[in-house]
Amino acid sequence: MNGGLIATIVAIISLLATFLMGKKTGAIKENEKLKLNLEAYTEKMETRTKEAEVKGDAQERKADLATKVAETVAEKSTQEASSIVSLSQMREALNNDNAFDIARKQAERAKEYTEE
């Protein structure tokens, strides 16, 4: 009878040890799986961040280019408007004695414009 009781106690202890070891091993595997998932997620987020930075830089360059184009167009429009104003002044001056002075000023402006 003592042999049966000892065998039963050993069997219960073995089952308990197997259960605890299996639980610990499962927890270790689950922990490793979570680590791998976290690393993959971190790499994914780093990639997205880099892509966003690249897109941001590209958008910034496009904005700078658009600003420069707008400034150039505005400058050209101003120059053309000033030449139109000068032409209208010249027409008015044809009736006056200042036509020669205005023509000389136009020539100087044209010379400065071509030198730039």
Q: Domain-by-domain residue ranges, the chain?
A: 2-115
What confidence tens digit (pLDDT) does each residue in 14-59 have?
A: 888 888 777 777 777 888 888 888 999 999 999 999 998 988 888 8
At 64, phi and psi to the nearest 5?
Answer: -60, -45
Confidence of residue 102 (pLDDT cuts 50, 70, 90): low
pLDDT reading at 116 higher than 70: no
Query: pTM above the 0.75 mark?
Result: no
pLDDT at 112 (0 to 100): 73
Give the separation between CA 80 and CA 99, rounded to whole angstroms: 20
Q: How far is CA 102 from CA 65, 72, 81, 87, 108, in A?
A: 38, 27, 16, 9, 10
DSSP for 35-74 reads: HHHHHHHHHHHHHHHHHHHHHHHHHHHHHHHHHHHHHHHH
Q: How far is CA 89 from CA 32, 74, 83, 93, in A?
A: 84, 22, 10, 6
Amino acid at 34: L
Amino acid at 57: D
| Residue from 73, 68, 94, 89 nearest 109 by CA | 89
